[in-house]
Amino acid sequence: MENSIDKRKIFIASIFIIALKSIFFFTKHIQEDALITWRVARNIIEFGVYGYNGAEKISASTTHLYVFVGVIFQTIFGEGNFIYPLLIFNTILLTIGIYWLGKLFFNSSTKIILFILFVSFLPPAIKMSILGMEFGILFFFYIALIKFGFVERKKWAFIVFPILILWTRIDTSIFLGLLFIYDVIQNRKWNTALMIGGILAILSTVAFNWFYFGEIVNNTITSKKNNYPSADFAERINQFTYFGPNYFGIIKFPTSLYNFSTIILFLISLGCLVLLKNKLKDNRTKVITFLFLYGFFKTIIFGFANSWFDWYYWIPQIFLFLPIIVFVLDLEKFKQASIAYFIIIFIPFTAYQAVHSIATGHGEWNHARKIGLYLDSIEPNKNKYIFLEPAGYIPYFSKLKVIDYVGLVDKRLTEENIVKNGIEVGFSNLINKAKPDYILEDYKPMFQGKLKDKTIYDDYELIKEFKISNVAESDNPILDKIYKFKPSGRDFYLYKRKSTAK
């Protein structure tokens, strides 16, 4: 059995794996929220202001650090050419994190390479590479803290990485808090360095938000809290049992049905974890147990909070699935087991994600993006406002100023107290006060005719319909089947204020 690590062999294999995964870039599957972050970065370059609509300060992104990374890449490569270099950068950091993790578990080059391959092509790991969000960087920071801090006990790591982690996402406080508790239990003493790192992380992020934006937490968190109706305990339980099985699994099926396959995989992974605890020694047992526990508790916490955005669960999904991969590679006959894994899990999961990314990327790039380009072509005045949801593709490519239905990029909606007054009243008040030049809606008539102030319907006229059925087809029979099997997108109707109509 191979007992030494050939770094050159691993490096070459990693380059090949990154290149192979980069094929997914051609699906043009980019998450809407990445485009929000990139527009905030663009706003800093053009106006010198951390905001979304010109010179107005607003924390419209959930990730401060990734915004500044976006500024660097857009400055170097330009507005139209930065996306793929940034995606490759994210993928490289994700791969380094996977390599570090593999090196903690194995002392064989072959096993580390297989580990990198298997983890890199899990559906959430593919999405962390190609969707343009900050989770590839966040995974890198997580594993760096585990490697240099938790395992190697370097004090500087306990101080530096919590700051970088919390600046990447505020909800990473769950990871840091759980790691602190787990570390205290394992070592039976307080981790002063990690405490200092956590305190500095909290103070620095809160201080930045307060002194720059005049708020404690990001506007994205505040707007969701204020504009999404809260659920009681019974409703949260129902939501969790309805959606939870999909989010505990390594893949999310395009259905709301109770997904028993993900429960089975979770139980298999839990069984592998129990078996590994009897086989692995020292840090390997501690690391894989902590990562699994974090994945479990993060999913439980966000699930009961009714936070059902896919990206919240990508890293937890990987950590929950990790014991299966480690168990396969830790077997004495790991080569035969790896072949079985490749056939039973690797190929189906990768194929599933390919279908998902092809369909979703096509719908967003050739539907939502083209709506944005259409608006860009008909409206040269970029100081005009559009009222829509979501604030992703369409605002990014239209370059218009934006008010979104949740209030992520403009605070005026929050002032209307949607939860208390209702959408019909809140939207009516906002439209009458802001007088957006365009409204992009899912329905005809606008807002299904449910606005409280009916006079608004006289102020706007329908100028364009964008049907998803017009793009959910292809001359290529395989692509046509994929688009019809998993249609992505919805119909949009563009309304223009009559006073500005041509």
User: pLDDT, tens digit, for every residue of 26-61?
Assistant: 999 999 999 999 999 999 999 999 999 999 999 988
Q: Is the pLDDT of residue 467 over 60?
A: yes
pLDDT band at 235 (very low <50, low <70, confident <90, very high): confident
Q: Is the pLDDT of residue 329 over 80?
A: yes
Q: Is the pLDDT of residue 231 over 80?
A: no
Span 335-372, pLDDT tens digits: 999 999 999 999 999 999 999 899 999 888 989 999 99
Given a contact cutoff of 8 angstroms between Cβ atoms, the answer to whether 457 and 449 are in contact is: yes
List of residues 6+ apart from 182 with CB closer than 8 A: 286, 290, 293
Span 64-96, pLDDT tens digits: 999 999 999 999 999 889 999 999 999 999 999
Q: Is the pLDDT of residue 257 over 50?
A: no
pLDDT at position 78: 93
Question: Rounded mean pLDDT of the chain?
Answer: 90
Tokens standing for residue 11: 């490096």
Instruction: Point out the least confidently predicted range of 192-201, 407-416, 483-492.
Output: 483-492
Distance CA 210, CA 478 (A): 52
Q: Is the pLDDT of residue 439 over 70?
A: yes
Share above pLDDT 70 across residues of the chain, in percent, rounded to a whole number: 94
Given a contact cutoff of 8 angstroms between Cβ atoms, the answer to whether 93 and 137 are in contact is: yes
pLDDT at position 373: 95
Given a contact cutoff of 8 angstroms between Cβ atoms, the answer to whether 326 and 288 are in contact is: yes
pLDDT band at 260 (very low <50, low <70, confident <90, very high): low
Distance CA 297, CA 174 (A): 9
pLDDT at position 253: 63
Residue 438 burial by CB count (10 A; 0-12/13-18/19+): exposed, middle or buried? buried
- Apex 181 CA angle, 176 and 185, nearest 5: 145
Indicate the pTM of the whole model: 0.94
Span 136-195, pLDDT tens digits: 999 999 999 999 999 999 999 999 999 999 999 999 999 999 999 999 999 899 999 999
pLDDT at position 259: 63
Given a contact cutoff of 8 angstroms between Cβ atoms, the answer to whether 245 and 259 are in contact is: yes
User: What is the average pLDDT across 222-244?
Assistant: 74
pLDDT band at 1 (very low <50, low <70, confident <90, very high): very low
Residue 411 burial by CB count (10 A; 0-12/13-18/19+): exposed, middle or buried? middle
Q: In what order do the strands lie in the sheet with 492-497?
A: 401-404, 385-388, 438-441, 492-497, 460-466
Distance CA 408, CA 390 (A): 9
pLDDT band at 463 (very low <50, low <70, confident <90, very high): very high
pLDDT at position 3: 56
User: What is the average pLDDT across 212-230?
Assistant: 81
Give phi and psi for 203, each to the nearest 5.
-60, -40
